[in-house]
Amino acid sequence: MSKLPNFIIIGAGKCGTTSLFHYLSQHPNIYMCPKKETFFFLNESSRAKNKKWGAVENLEEYQELFKDAPKNAIIGEISTTYYSDPTSAQSIHSILPDTKIIAILRDPANRAFSDYLMHYNINKQQQSFESLIYESNYFVKLGFYYSQLVHYFKAFDSKNIKILFYEDLLNNSEEFIKDLFTFLEVEPNIKVDMAKRYRNNGIPKNKILYTLFIKPGKAQNITKRLLEILPKPFGNNLYTKIKAVSVYKPTLSSDDRAKLIEIYRPEILRLQGLIDKDLSKWLTV
């Protein structure tokens, strides 16, 4: 019998989905798709655009991704591209009508700034953040949560949709993961190591050290192996000190936040009604 996902995490990007992948993978009864971002449930033209990133193009190829899942495991996939494609909800439902849909959201202004920092770090964005605060900008548009999620609430029974919040992951990680395990109907009291946060962006402060130790690539792979040779406590402490002098984490200015809130306000208010959740904190400067 073919194996397919029991749940799909659709995003949103820069809201902790990479961390979530690592945490869920620690549960003995959960099998996570080894490929993050399959692009399978995107529309045909979007899949074609993502072919260079390994987009899965047919059901047989998609099923192959889950062949190693243990017999009684709950199977999951994470693909944040599904969140922003308005056709994905119906595409998923047509093949997996009973699958559970999970979205993790974050204060949209903070999400937009974090997304900008990531693109700045990989040299894909050199403009100031302030100059990019307008409704049609890529970083801003991805924070229109209501407009993205409403398609899923139309396609799926609301009892099969779980909306999580990045702030809860940061502030009460144990309850966050226990609640998620309960929703997935697996043992909720499994202990998960959630100490590490993945893809925590900062701006290079020392470009040489950043390239050697922080930026993913050949140089980092070499220095990482060298650090692993050292006694673990010493190696970990050395890496922490190097990171401290290699990057700094800018903060979103109150002026920029105020501009973003005015853009997001109608979406936040609509989302409150859709998911029956007080989101007034997202409306404060």
Dump pLDDT digits (tens) for 133-167.
999 998 999 999 999 999 999 999 999 999 999 99
Three-state SS across 227-283? HHHCCHHHHHHHHHHHHHHHEECCCCCHHHHHHHHHHHHHHHHHHHHHHCCCCHHHH
| DSSP E strand boundaries for the chain | 7-11, 30-32, 74-78, 100-105, 161-165, 203-204, 247-248
At residue 234, the pLDDT reads 78
Dump pLDDT digits (tens) for 177-210.
999 999 999 999 999 988 766 555 566 666 677 6
Q: Which domains does the chain have, with CATH numbers?
A: 7-196+254-283 (3.40.50.300), 203-248 (no CATH)
Dump pLDDT digits (tens) for 229-248.
888 777 777 777 776 676 66
CA angle 177, 190, 176 (to 5 degrees): 10
Taking the CA atoms of residue 80, residue 32, residue 154 and residue 134 in that order, the dihedral angle to the nearest 10 degrees is: -10
Q: Which of 20-24, 98-102, 213-217, 269-273 has the lowest mean pLDDT?
A: 213-217
Q: Which of 4-13, 125-134, 170-179 has the lowest mean pLDDT?
A: 125-134
CA angle 93, 41, 5 (to 5 degrees): 65
At residue 145, the pLDDT reads 97
Tokens 């406590």 locate to: 233
Dump pLDDT digits (tens) for 118-138.
877 655 556 889 999 999 998
Whether this prediction's pTM lies above 0.95 is answered by no
Residues across the chain:
285
